[in-house]
Amino acid sequence: MHVIREDGSLDPTLDPGLSIDQVVALYKAMLRTRIVDDRLEKLQRQGRIAFHVGSLGEEAAIIGAAAALRDRDWIVPCYREVGALLWRGYPLQRYVDHMYGNAGDPLRGRQMPDHTFSKSHRYLSVSAPIGTQIPHAVGVAMAAKKRGLDECVGVFFGDGATSSNDFHAAMNFAGVYEAPVLFLCRNNGFAISLRTEHQTAARTMAEKAAAYRVPAARIDGNDVLAVWRAVREGVQRATDGGGPTFIELMTYRLGGHSTSDDPSIYRSQSEVDSWRKADPLARLRKHIEQRDVWNDDLESDWRAICDAEVKECVLRAEEKPAPELRGMFTDVYAEQPWHLREQEAQCVGGPRAKDEGDES
């Protein structure tokens, strides 16, 4: 399904009817996400952060889906969807602090970069092993259903996750019990380095949903308005008691799987260049320029604002100390048992390298 045509106009039969202000907000969020991604990748290359998972080329699939979900709905991410969290108003400073694992990191430096969460923004913690977040999402959806809440869950995963055990268990459970969950499959062409056609014999990811009698759609994941429309229809189905929806978001990962990946080993530059012509930002920008609400000056101004914002966040993050040493003993038990209190005292009172500093 396409909403934005090649010339930038909209298909009137599929136009989801968003206001122009809403459409511009989508573009600005996608561009902000890309600018943050670019800065974090540079920081990793400079050795200032350890790791980053970007979303270059997949911004429409992520931001469009997050925008179509309601504020009361839950997002269960893979590890590439921090743009969805930022869309919901998560402070960029808190995210950058997490990437540094400093004292401002809500996870106290215990988790890998890009594995953040926010209960207040209804964004679950990342579960890194492939596909494991999918049954978590079904569980959250079933909990909402049992409590009679008007909530649904959107769970993101890649095409490779559809070959995992957890995917099939979750789909089966959701189909049987009509869980209000949206399975948001970002088909970006690769399961890390393995091409989609090499990791499954299925012609499409969407056809896998038929085995569990889950309604499915296959749409252009680089068309943010098509993404918004399909996800909002799934939200409505869940709200009406119609159960789950599977949405295959056809997109392309323009960057590496992560900063630890060298994609040039398994794909050609000419292939990447051909996909750049379908860049979701360029497509949406053509549309809003047609409607005389965006131009080069506005683009330059917004880029400058985003760039200054992320630079300031980095500056502040690098000024913050490491998490307190005693932090490793907290957030495990409601009431800390005696043996951990004893170990904590021994740890913070014991010898420690001077250059590490004493945070106790």
At position 216, the amino acid (one-letter code) is: A
Q: Is 27 a catalytic residue?
A: no
| Conformational region of residue 89, where left means phi above 0, alpha means psi within -120 to 50, and beta covers everything else | left
By DSSP bridging, strand 194-195 and strand 190-191 are: antiparallel
DSSP string, 82-143: HHHHHHTT--HHHHHHHHHT-TT-TTTT-S-TT---BTTTTBPPP--STTTHHHHHHHHHHH
Task: Please name which of 153, 169, 149, 151 lies closest in space to residue 161, comparing C-alpha atoms.
Answer: 169
By DSSP bridging, strand 245-250 and strand 216-220 are: parallel
Exactly one of 253, 283, 285, 287 is catalytic; which is it? 253
Q: Is 257 a catalytic residue?
A: yes
Unique residue bearing structure tokens 């091409």: 195
Q: Is 352 a catalytic residue?
A: no
Angle at which helices 296-319 and 20-45 cross, to 10°: 40
Exactly one of 110, 195, 198, 266 is catalytic; which is it? 266
Exactly one of 98, 232, 257, 283 is catalytic; which is it? 257
Which tokens sit at 70? 């309601």
**Alpha-carbon dihedral of residues 194, 195, 197, 203, nearest 10 degrees?**
120
Query: What residues are labeled active site?
Result: 253, 257, 266
